[in-house]
Amino acid sequence: MTSNRFWNHDEDLLRSVTDWSLLRLVEGRDPRSGALPAEDLANALGETVVPDGIGGSEALRLFTEVIVPATRAQDNPMNLAFVPAAPTEAALVFDLAVSAAEIFAGTWEAGAGAIAAENQALRWLAALARWPATAGGCFVAGATMGNLSALVAGRERARSRLDAVPPRWRFAATADAHSSVRAAATVMDCEVLNVPSDERGRMTGHALTEALEEVSDDPLAAGVFAVVVSFGTTNAGVVDDLAGVAEVCQSHGLWMHVDGAYGAAALVAPSVAPLFVGMECADSFVVDPHKWLFAPFDCCALVYREPEHGAAAHSQFATYLDGVDRDVWNPADFAVHLTRRARGLPFWFSLATYGTDRYRDAVEKVLSTTRAVAEEIQTRSHLRLVMEPDLSIVLFERVGWDMVDYEAWSLRNAKAGTVLCVPTRWRDQPVLRFCFINPETDVAEVAAVLDGLAGSPRG
């Protein structure tokens, strides 16, 4: 079968795109925000979607000179804002190959090879959680889709176990759960049972028990079908009391979902193993390899301890799908999707290339950097560490500053290309937040930033 006869086949252009992509791996970009006002960006781009096209060379020039410079580098070692990224070179290069292969990875019939490789990566993740070999799932675009899909599966299991559908479905979570958790409740048209968190922002088994007792002696019959716990909250990196929550969930027959989008990468790190206890009892979890497992966007692993519950909730049936073999592994059956690219393959390729020991060492390096920075903060009288970090997020305050000061300092450093660090709030008080993801982040360079906080926020 041939292709590219209708479209112009420009080997020079394809080579230019490939060369630019490979150069991007070694060039890097500074961490400053390159965002432009919409009007300025529109003028710089000009009209590009036109009847006769602008040609590949001009489109590539605009991409190189206008589009990429107007984006923020997510993988720079001094990007410490939000949850950045640090994809390996192998993963980035292989993303080109995955796109070029144009694999439909929704069904085994169409994408068996890709799915088999993805499943090896999923089995590694499941094994880290001490789940059985029968566990499995699929890769989705991000934890927002993963959390939603897992909760839909949990509700479906509850529905199958109840004689009567409750008047209103609910799942339990704390106020520190990721925003996507409450977004899932909106999409599912259900409520969130708020569980008070402790002084560190954790859900505990004791607090969950009290919240459930206020609902009913039989929470499941009353419509509470699941509990969402966080393995590394996005704001503070805090790990909930997994063991305590697991005991409560098991006693009431509730689905336990672990949102580990950022933090579950630490399952590979022996130094924080005590935080994992209880994970083996969960029913589902998500982790984003595009965060702390060094894969490119967009890649979230959704894993079920008993995958049949995912399939019961998500398998789609129609006349045009009658030919799909339901006895094989079809990733389309495990989440809110049907069409999907093989987004887990770059992650698999990187794992296969470097080995899981290198992944362990990379995550441990980030944890070591985090602890060292926390110690640096504690040696400076103008700074105060809010709490010892569980994982790789550090919250701290500059004594005497308010939010206006933090915002001015953050903007000045972003424009200078020194560091990306945006303020947040902890217990209604403004603080600064570092999120470490990149094993190449240098403690001395971060320490210099801490020294700079001794001066005026405006320089």
What are the boundaries of each domain within the chain? 11-72, 95-354, 360-452
Asked if residue 224 lies in contact with residue 254, where contact means CB atoms within 8 angstroms, the answer is yes
The sheet with strand 136-140 has its strands ordered as: 136-140, 300-304, 284-287, 255-259, 224-230, 170-173, 191-194
pLDDT given for residue 1 in this prediction: 40
Terminal-residue alpha carbon distance, the chain: 63
Q: Among 11-20, 234-243, 409-418, where is mean pLDDT lowest?
A: 11-20
Q: Among 2-11, 171-180, 346-355, where is mean pLDDT lowest?
A: 2-11
CATH of domain 360-452: 3.90.1150.170
pLDDT given for residue 29 in this prediction: 64
Q: What is the mean pLDDT of residues 293-303?
A: 98
Q: What is the mean pLDDT of residues 153-172?
A: 97
Nearest residue to 304 via CA among 142, 123, 159, 179: 123
Categorize the per-residue pLDDT at 129 as very low, low, confident or very high, splitting at 50, 70 and 90: very high
Categorize the per-residue pLDDT at 445 as very low, low, confident or very high, splitting at 50, 70 and 90: very high
Angle at CA of residue 381, ends 379 and 383, nearest 5° = 85
The span from the CA of 393 to the CA of 263, in Å, is 10
* The pLDDT of residue 327 is above 90: yes
* The pLDDT of residue 65 is above 50: yes
pLDDT given for residue 459 in this prediction: 85
pLDDT given for residue 12 in this prediction: 85
Question: Residue 168 corresponds to which amino acid?
Answer: R
CATH of domain 95-354: 3.40.640.10
The span from the CA of 151 to the CA of 31, in Å, is 36
| Tens digits of residue pLDDT in 361-407 | 999 999 999 999 999 999 999 999 999 999 999 999 999 999 999 99
Nearest residue to 407 via CA among 459, 457, 450: 457
pTM, 2 dp: 0.95
Q: Among 4-18, 104-118, 134-148, where is mean pLDDT lowest?
A: 4-18
pLDDT given for residue 262 in this prediction: 98
Categorize the per-residue pLDDT at 26 as very low, low, confident or very high, splitting at 50, 70 and 90: low
* The pLDDT of residue 2 is above 90: no
* The pLDDT of residue 201 is above 70: yes
